[in-house]
Amino acid sequence: MIRFGYAIRRSGVLAAVVTALACGTAAAQTPVKFTLDWKFEGPAAPFVVAADKGYYKAEGLDVTIDTAGGSLEPLNRIASGTYDIGFGDINSLIKFRDANPNVPIKAIFMVYNKPPFSIVGRKSRGVVNPKDLEGKKLGAPAPDGAYAQWKIFTQANNIDPSKVTIENVGFPVREPMLAAGQVDAITGFSFSSYINLKDRGVPADDISVILMADHGVNLYGNAIIVNPKFAAEKPEVVKKFLNAFLKGLKDTVKSPDTAVDSVVKRNDVAKKPVELERLQMALKDNIVTPEVKANGFGGVDMGRLDKSIDQIAITYDFKNPKPKGDAIFDPSFLPPAADRKL
């Protein structure tokens, strides 16, 4: 009986130790609120792959990932402190910083080395090249990141904007209106509008995708951004987040077919073939660019960023002195350069 009681006591002590360790591990997880720029679609794969493979947890992080309604929403969420880290358009960030100089949010990891801003048209409606837009009707949501570059695009391609009819359309009806022939072309992210049109039955060979980056709009795209207070108080947490994300990004590049499953399971209306094609477009056109192949993921060329800010000045009147790239992008949180190589 004495031995049996000892065994029970010993078992109870071990159980208590295991429980304490488990609670301690859970307590050690630092909460991080992260916001995407859009829905759970193919290009969001690197963020959710890092979650599903336990990369955030391995870094001691408890990351919550939420969707958003466009590239501007993450800026407001990060600036207010409602979210710690997010994913948004660096060009919108530059304008936001100018309008809100007391909220110095910064980009810390460039994801879309080449932005997906595009004009997507119907060949059957005579839209193949930039100049074809003259005399046509363009559907453009007012807050659309691609439409924000319209003035740069028209100047770079000698388009007379007075010859293009702009119709302010909502995001949900943009592709349906082009599919129905109510407009001749639309502004949007290439991998979103192209795939959405195909999914609505528009033949692929009737869709023209005019990437603005291939026609004089020399900007960067979406980046990971951080709340300045959070970055100052928890710099190691920010670095750990980027370490985990980088692993998810590399896994996504290596196996898009597997990675997209992490997106589809979070989106009840998503179709795997559609989201896989969307992801593959983003990887090819926006993420794994020649610059990234040469220099690795995450960083920027400061000279190129400075020139992009000069180009933004074509569409935006800076209220304060025009910033330099190093005021917008902080590389100090990036993983080591060797780890960022493909």
Per-residue pLDDT of 60-110, as tens digits, reads 999 999 999 887 899 999 999 999 999 999 999 999 999 999 999 999 999
Intervals of CATH 3.40.190.10 along the chain: 29-114+220-333, 117-214
Q: Which residues contact 266 (CB under 8 A, 6 or more apart)?
A: 40, 48
21 pLDDT exceeds 90? no
pLDDT of 320: 96
2 pLDDT exceeds 60? no
CATH superfamily, with its number, for domain 117-214: Periplasmic binding protein-like II (3.40.190.10)
Query: Are 340 and 246 a contacting pair, CB within 8 Å?
Result: yes
Task: Report the distance separating Cα 332 and Cα 287, nearest Å.
Answer: 21
Helix axes 272-282, 256-264, angle to 10 degrees: 120
The alpha carbon of 249 is separated from its chain's Cα centroid by a whole number of angstroms, namely 12
pLDDT of 27: 54
Q: Which residues contact 288 (CB under 8 A, 6 or more apart)?
A: 253, 342
Which residue is listed with tokens 């290439």? 190
Average pLDDT for the chain: 93
- Assigned architecture for domain 29-114+220-333: 3-Layer(aba) Sandwich (3.40)
Give the model confidence (pLDDT) of 223-251 as tens digits. 999 999 999 999 999 999 999 999 999 99
Task: Report the distance separating Cα 222 and Cα 209, nearest Å.
Answer: 19
What stretches of the chain show up as alpha helix (H) in DSSP? 2-28, 45-52, 55-58, 73-80, 90-99, 150-156, 171-179, 190-199, 228-233, 235-254, 256-264, 272-282, 290-295, 302-315
Q: What is the mean pLDDT of residues 124-150?
A: 96
The CA-based angle 65-68-73, given to 5 degrees, is: 120
pLDDT of 12: 52
Q: What is the mean pLDDT of residues 332-338?
A: 98
pLDDT band for 4, please (50, 70, 90 cuts).
Answer: very low
- Give the CA distances from residue 268 to residues 39, 218, 260, 261, 264, in Å, rounded to whole numbers and listed in that order: 11, 36, 13, 12, 7
